[in-house]
Amino acid sequence: MKSAERSLKSLNFAWHVALATADAIVLAIFVAPELITSATTTQLGLYRALGAAVLPIVVLLLMNVMSSNFKAMLVYWKPHGWLPGCEAFTKYGPADHRVDMVQLKKNVGAWTDEPKDQNSKWYKLYKQVETFPEVAYAQKDFLMYRDMAVLSLPLIVIAPLGLHISDARTNALWIGAAMFVVQYVLTAISARNAGERFVCNVLAVHSAKKVTTPKAPAAAKATSSSGSAAA
């Protein structure tokens, strides 16, 4: 999942930069317009250049400074290490009308109610269908909204601090903080919903048919073996 996650995160990076750019524009135009109206043409050009150069770096740093487990904690507001797959078979699967739990058990075997074991079993099922479009798209959405929430949270403090340094009005500081609180809550809820779809899409595929991992061709095995011997 790590390599797939890195690939999907790179696809989502443009959306994260776009969100940060939109946030900066809203802050400058609606929250603290005096920063724009009092600026000279040269300063405006400098702001634009700095935004184009700095925002992607800031987004990249904020996205990678936290682990995946910690990001999940910020989204689900549950103890460190909790992931949506921890309730895949006891909560999300039974609640999804597409998932036939009886058929799912026939296709993939039994499971326990222990959260860690549920997540481990779900992960194995995910790896078998990770290239299926409905699974890949759901994972992409989950990672996108999750990282948007993670990006929004520190901005609750960073944005008012930046406005204060720029001598913005006092009420602009509070408005800026409130804006990012709302953005964080909305993106966190969106990430939860996308995470649920991600988990259920994997289960739905496995309940609809028994997925088997294709065996490597004999020629490929022979080549691999000779290559290993040569190494």
pLDDT at 204: 97
Is 216 within the bounds of a domain? no
Size of the chain in residues: 231
pLDDT at 230: 34
Which of 215, 122, 79 has its CA nearest to residue 130?
122
Is 103 within the bounds of a domain? yes
SS (H, E, C) the chain: CHHHHHHHHHHHHHHHHHHHHHHHHHHHHHHCCHHHHCCCHHHHHHHHHHHHHHHHHHHHHHHHCCCHHHHHHHHHCCCCCCCHHHHHHHHHHHHCCCCCHHHHHHHHCCCCCCHHHHHHHHHHHHHHHCCCHHHHHHHHHHHHHHHHHHHHHHHHHHHHHHHHHCCCCHHHHHHHHHHHHHHHHHHHHHHHHHHHHHHHHHHHHHHHCCCCCCCCCHHHHHHHHHHHHHC
Is 231 within the bounds of a domain? no
Is 227 within the bounds of a domain? no
User: What's the CA angle centered on 179, arms 177 and 183, to 5 degrees?
Assistant: 115
pLDDT at 36: 65
pLDDT at 83: 87
Measured CA to CA, the distance from residue 226 to residue 231 in angstroms comes to 9
CB atoms within 10 A of CB 41: 7
Single pTM value for the model: 0.76
pLDDT at 35: 63
Run means of pLDDT, 10 residues per run, the chain, 231 residues: 59 84 78 65 64 75 82 88 90 95 96 94 95 94 94 86 75 87 96 96 95 54 36 34
pLDDT at 226: 34
Measured CA to CA, the distance from residue 186 to residue 69 in angstroms comes to 20
Measured CA to CA, the distance from residue 62 to residue 76 in angstroms comes to 18
Is 219 within the bounds of a domain? no
Is 76 within the bounds of a domain? yes
92 is in which domain, residue-wise? 2-211
Domain total for the chain?
1
pLDDT at 126: 96
Is 224 within the bounds of a domain? no
